[in-house]
Amino acid sequence: MSLVTPDFGLLVWMTVIFAILFFILAKFGFPIITGMVNKRSDYIGKSLESAREAQRKVDALADEQKRLIDETKREQSRILNEAAQTRDDILKEARQQAHTEAETILAQAREDIEAQRETALRDVRRQVAELSVEVAEKLVRGSLSDDEKAEELIGKLIDEAAR
């Protein structure tokens, strides 16, 4: 029966030793370990949370970036279109201007030419007239030396003039 009757000495020692063991471990042992482990698991939890947050931010940034790139591309094509448009406009205008300028110049030139031709014609006419007068003078002087011929000539001239 000694197996199931607790021995008094062992009871005393067990109580004392277990109490000492418990107090030492409860003061210097387990709370430190569990505290640190909890601290670490909190830290890991927080790290996971912040990693998730960071991932979310990165995703948002990527979206933003994509949006910006799209926008920029749109803007670029718009600007390019606009530039092409402007270039075309400018070219067209320039062409038109050149055209009108050319027209003006041509018209001017034509006018000048006309005027010069007028002048030249007038000149030529005057000279021809003078020459003709001179020739006529000479002819008349020559022909008039001979009366018969002079008469004939005068008659012819009058005819001609009359015609």
Partner 1 sequence: MKRIGLLLLMVLMMLPLEVFSGETEATAAADLDMQEYLFGHIGDAYEWHITTVNGRPVSIPLPVIVRSKTTGWHIFSSHHIEEGEEYEGMFISQEEKYNGKVVERAADGSLVRPFDISITKNVFSLIINSTLILLLVLSTARWYRRHDVLKETPKGLVGIMEMLIVMVEDDVIKEGVGKDYKRYSPYLLTAFFFIFINNLMGIVPIFPGGANLTGNIAITLVLAVCTFLAVNLFGNRHYWKDILWPDVPVFLKAPLPLMPLIEIIGMFTKPFSLMIRLFANIMAGHCMLLGVVAVIFITAKMGPVINGSLSVIAVLFGVFMDVLECLVAFLQAYVFTMLSAVFIGMSRQEVEEG
Residues that bind partner 1 (CB under 8 A): 2-15, 17-18, 20-22, 24-26, 28-34, 36-37, 39-40, 43
Report the nearest approach of partner 1 to the CB of residue 68 (Å).
37
Tokens of 13: 């020692």
Q: What's the rounded Cα separation, in Å, for the pair 123 and 130?
A: 10
Question: Which position has the token pair 């004392």?
Answer: 16
**Nearer to partner 1 by C-beta: 15 or 116?**
15
**Nearer to partner 1 by C-beta: 26 or 98?**
26
The string of DSSP letters for 22-74 reads HHHIIIIIHHHHHHHHHHHHHHHHHHHHHHHHHHHHHHHHHHHHHHHHHHHHH
Residues 143, 149 contacting (CB under 8 angstroms): yes
Report the nearest approach of partner 1 to the CB of residue 70 (Å).
42
Q: What's the rounded Cα separation, in Å, for the pair 161 and 147?
A: 20
> Which amino acid makes up residue 17?
I
Report the nearest approach of partner 1 to the CB of residue 47 (Å).
9
**Nearer to partner 1 by C-beta: 10 or 162?**
10
DSSP state of 146: S
**Nearer to partner 1 by C-beta: 8 or 148?**
8
Handedness of CA 128, 133, 136, 141 (dihedral sign): negative
Report the nearest approach of partner 1 to the CB of residue 54 (Å).
18
Report the nearest approach of partner 1 to the CB of residue 50 (Å).
13
**Nearer to partner 1 by C-beta: 42 or 89?**
42
